[in-house]
Amino acid sequence: MSDNIKENLEYINKKIAIAAEKSGRVREDILLLGVSKTIEVPEIKKAVDAGIDELGENRVQEILEKYEKIENVKWHLIGHLQTNKVKYIIDKVALIHSVDSVRLAEEINKRAYQNGLIMDILLEVNIADEESKFGIKPDELFDIVSKIAEFPNLRIKGLMTVAPFVENGEENRLYFRRMKQLVVDINAKSINNINMEILSMGMTGDYEVAIEEGATLVRIGTGIFGPRFYA
């Protein structure tokens, strides 16, 4: 893989455009979220200079550290969120992708109310029913959606999933298709005027397949920044 972030982005943007066309859409219909976890600020700034304007992190602490140093971007929390940490990020993120319980939603609603804002959230679904993964089980989703829909300071914008780690993205196609069907089914129920428009799925290994199956937001780290090194 190229170590040139700008070239990586050009390549990914081309692939996104092709996959979007295959699903009857255009490049502009898909949001590319740059996943900047473990990446140092100067590297992230290169991506921002090359056009990335929304960044995703999976740890609260890492958003707090980078928040002041990188301007003119929207931050997304994409990793598991503990209720006791909601207060630190409530006024710093544009979208929380990882809401997986009514209890967590209740806490976000409370903090959003205290801050005088409406928080946009996605519900995380454990679509492959993996032991190791967070997320709501598909058969519990409708019940949880209707409960979370009652919170006045939350807006449910859609669903998110972290699909299984696979060598070939094609292996996740049926999971992505099921995710899209869940969105369609929920919208068909017209729960308290919920209209889901965001489907956050697809990472470096499988984003093209995810888009072909209906993703509106892909979360890409390695494909932009190269491999991550954990100290």
Which of 151, 201 has the CB closer to ligand PLP?
201
Q: Which residues bind ligand PLP (CB under 6 A)?
A: 35, 37, 58, 78-79, 162, 203-205, 219-223
CB of 75 to ligand PLP, least distance (A): 14
In one letter, which amino acid is 93? V
Rounded least distance, CB 77 to ligand PLP, Å? 10
Contact 5, 225 (CB under 8 A): yes
Comparing CB distances to ligand PLP, the nearer of 23 and 222 is: 222
| Nearest CB to ligand PLP, comparing residues 37 and 178 | 37
Give 172 or 204: the residue with its C-beta nearer to ligand PLP. Answer: 204
Q: What is the dihedral of CA 5, 133, 88, 34, to 10 degrees?
A: 10
Q: How far is the CB of 79 from ligand PLP (least distance, A)?
A: 5
Nearer to ligand PLP among residue 35 and residue 156 (C-beta): 35
Nearest residue to ligand PLP on Cβ basis = 221
* Contact status, residue 16 vs residue 30, Cβ threshold 8 Å: yes
Of the two residues 117 and 166, which places its CB atom closer to ligand PLP in the complex? 166
Residue 67 Cβ, how far from ligand PLP at the closest point, in Å?
Answer: 18
In angstroms, what is the minimal distance from the CB of 114 to ligand PLP?
Answer: 27
Min. distance of Cβ 207 from ligand PLP in angstroms? Answer: 8
Distance of alpha carbon 163 from alpha carbon 155, whole angstroms = 24
